[in-house]
Every structure is written in C-alpha cells, then in structure tokens.
Amino acid sequence: MTKNGKVVLITGANKGLGKEIGRQLGALGYTVVLTARDEQAGRAAAAELVAAGCEAYTVRLEVTNPDDIGSLVSYLDTTFGKLDVLVNNAGISIEWDGKPTDADKVRRTLEVNLIAPYAITEALVPLLSRSDDARVINHSSMLGSIGTAESMWKQVGGFMAVGYSTSKAGLNMLTLIQSKTLANKGIGVAAAHPGWVKTDLGTQAAPMEVAEGASTVVDLVTIAREKFPNGQLWHKGERMPW
Ligand SMILES: NC(=O)c1ccc[n+]([C@@H]2O[C@H](COP(=O)([O-])OP(=O)(O)OC[C@H]3O[C@@H](n4cnc5c(N)ncnc54)[C@H](OP(=O)(O)O)[C@@H]3O)[C@@H](O)[C@H]2O)c1
C-alpha cells in the first residue's frame, strides 16, 4: 500500500466508528494513530489494522485527562514532528439507560463530548500548524442540530437526552468558532454526522453498518482542500443545518 505521508489521529478508536475510520484511512495510505483509554484495547485495534496492511499505532488517551493529552502531544512531536488530521471521535451516551438523566450524567457527557475535543484540539494546534493541509473533524450528531430538532422532533425527540444533545450542539458551535479562529494557522475544522450506526453507542437497532457510517468522516479527511467544508456540519457529502 502506498503511503501518502499524512498522519491522522483518531480518538476513541479501539472500537466502533473510530476503529473503522482508521481502517479505511489506513487502507488509503494514511499513517493512523488510534487512541484508546484502555491500552490493551488500543493495541488490539492497531494490531488488527497492521494485519490488514495499514501503518497503525496506538497511544493511551483518556480524553478528559490533561496528563494523557500532554503525553500524546510529546509522542506525536517525537515520532512524526507534525499532525495532518485530528478526528475528535471519542464520545459517550450514558443517558439512554431507561433512568432519568441527572446533573452528574450531563456534566460527564459534556466533559467527554465537548470539553475534551476543545482541550485536545488546542493542545495539538502547534503540531497541526506544521501540516500543509491540516484538518480537524469533530464527530457530532444530528441529535445536536438545533436547526432540525423542531421539524424532526417526532422522529428523534425521544433520543434527545439533555447531556448528549447539548454536548453535540456545543461541539457544533466549537467547530464553527475554531474554523474561524484557526483559519489563520491553515487549520480547517468541520463536523460530521455519521448517521445512526450499529455500534455499542448506536446499538444493534441502528440501520447503518459501521463501514457506511465511517464514510462521512473519511470523505472529510480525503476531500480536496479547496472543497473542504470549513465550519460546516456534514453528512454523506451534504451540508446539514446547525
Ligand atoms: N453510532 C451512532 O449511531 C452515532 C451517531 C451519531 C454520532 N455518533 C458519534 O460517533 C462517535 C463514535 O461513536 P461510536 O458509535 O463508534 O461509539 P462506540 O462504539 O461506543 O465508541 C466510542 C469510543 O469512544 C471511547 N471513549 C468514550 N469515553 C472515552 C474517554 N473518556 N476517553 C477516551 N475514550 C473514550 C470509547 O472507549 P471505550 O471502549 O474505552 O469505552 C470508544 O472507543 C461518538 O462521538 C458518537 O457520539 C455515533
């Protein structure tokens, strides 16, 4: 497989959409760094990709842990000297357990789904600035889209848990803000809605297979620079309302 010299970091990539995005990008010649909070799970995922012919590595990252983020930056600097693409993929949905949500669940969800992507992106700006085509993709959800919430309420309102939906709405605004503030450093920022996908988070009731679900992020990583939808939320090649 021909390498393209680009380094991609994917958070929460020991399973689900993160691992599949790594597999698809690795097959396209990207050097893939999969992060996982469980080191063993990260090693197993990277080994799977390597066995499939990809160049893949793993780093331990609990996304809410500032020390882990610091170690990740050092690792990337020492090993590659730059970062081309950051996919903020790690996410949780801890409110769909049949019990009422509460402030603690909302707080934990915001920490993982919103504050961590902010902190990780900020920490990686110096390494992204060394790329000639730097991109940040935030894995969002239509469940955070205020623009569709009202018209789609009958279909999706039952899935709109307070922590999850506000975290993704916040991630959308973070995407918009950083697409402006990081533009002068040559860093593009976009958000992706994968669809409702069969993963541990999406459950087996979801209609979409993981390979198809990964395609929106893979498209945003591979699309020509001049067509990159900076500051937008995308799903399968189309712009979605915020
Ligand atoms: N599946 C869907 O239908 C769907 C729809 C819209 C958006 N999304 C978004 O897509 C992204 C990936 O979801 P998925 O469906 O692939 O879910 P998943 O299979 O449950 O995978 C989630 C990943 O995030 C990791 N993670 C969770 N909390 C973490 C933490 N504190 N630190 C580090 N890693 C952490 C998990 O690690 P562990 O294995 O250690 O828990 C796992 O690797 C999420 O942001 C999700 O909101 C998914």
Residue-wise pLDDT tens digits, 110-144: 999 999 999 999 999 999 999 999 999 999 999 99
Q: What are φ and ψ of residue 64, in 5° steps?
A: -95, 0
Best of 17, 112, 235 for a ligand 1 pocket test (most atoms within 8 Å of beta carbon): 17
| pLDDT of 1 higher than 80 | no
Beta strand 55-60 pairing with 85-88: unpaired
Tell me how far apart the alpha carbons of residues 92 and 55 are, in angstroms, rounded to a whole number.
27
Best of 33, 61, 201, 235 for a ligand 1 pocket test (most atoms within 8 Å of beta carbon): 201
Give pLDDT tens digits for 212-238.
Answer: 999 999 999 999 999 999 999 999 999
Give pLDDT tens digits for 2-38.
Answer: 899 999 999 999 999 999 999 999 999 999 999 999 9
Confidence of residue 156 (pLDDT cuts 50, 70, 90): confident
Contact 13, 22 (CB under 8 A): yes
SS3 (DSSP) at 37: coil
Tell me how far apart the alpha carbons of residues 85 and 224 are, in angstroms, rounded to a whole number.
14
Compute the distance from residue 184 Cα to the ligand 1 centre, in Å: 30
Give pLDDT tens digits for 164-182.
Answer: 999 999 999 999 999 999 9
Domain 7-240 maps to which CATH number in 3.40.190.10, 3.30.300.280, 3.40.50.720, 3.40.50.300? Answer: 3.40.50.720
Tell me how far apart the alpha carbons of residues 162 and 24 are, in angstroms, rounded to a whole number.
32
CA atoms in the 13 A half-sphere facing the CB of 74: 8
Binding pocket residue ranges, ligand 1, CB within 6 Å: 12, 14-18, 37-38, 61-64, 89-92, 112, 139, 141, 194, 196-197, 199-202, 206
Tokens of 159: 């899935």
The distance from CA 99 to its chain's CA centroid, rounded to whole angstroms, is 27
H helices of the chain, in order, are: 16-27, 39-51, 66-79, 103-110, 116-128, 146-149, 153-156, 162-181, 210-213, 215-222
pLDDT score of 98: 84
Compute the distance from residue 6 Cα to the ligand 1 centre, in Å: 24
